Amino acid sequence: MMTPRSHGAASVAPEAAPAGSFVEGLAAQDFAHLGGALAAGACLRALLPAGLREWTGAEAIADRFACWFGDTEDFELVEATVGEVGGRLHLHWRLRLRAERLGSGWFTVEQQAYADTDDGGRIARLDLLCTGYRPEGGHD
């Protein structure tokens, strides 16, 4: 479920279409679609449990999301929102997944991101905060 939120006048709000396309690609585990929402020279700056990491280029960023969220036994988009804060796109998603590489059981991961678009309307900069994979209790 994706809930659009607008907190500013339409004339100053960034274009939300690339953010929606990005989240749709993530939800479908279609990382080429996700990458299509990014500018060729896009930059991802991510604060992960292991520390700050950075990637440059649409392909490298899409590959990073495929590494995080691809190759799963089960995958669910629990919640997603796209909105605007102070002239920046705001994206949020919560996922549940099972993957052999993570161990047994279900894991939840939540990410918040703020993005800027280029003149072509694609995401050019993505600043992301991640919870990491959090094991769930009571789900099999």
Q: What pLDDT, in 10s, does the model give residues 26-37?
A: 999 999 999 999
Q: Give the CATH architecture of domain 13-134.
A: Roll (3.10)
What 22-25 contacts at long range (C-beta under 8 Å, 24+ apart), as own/partner pairs, is 22/91, 22/123, 23/77, 23/80, 23/82, 23/91, 23/93
**What is the per-residue pLDDT for 16?**
74
Q: Convert the pLDDT of each residue in 41-71 to its tens digit.
A: 999 999 999 999 999 999 999 999 999 999 9
Token reading at 96? 């549940």
Reported confidence tier of residue 15, pLDDT bands at 50, 70, 90: low
Reported confidence tier of residue 13, pLDDT bands at 50, 70, 90: very low
In Å, the largest CA–CA distance within the chain is: 48
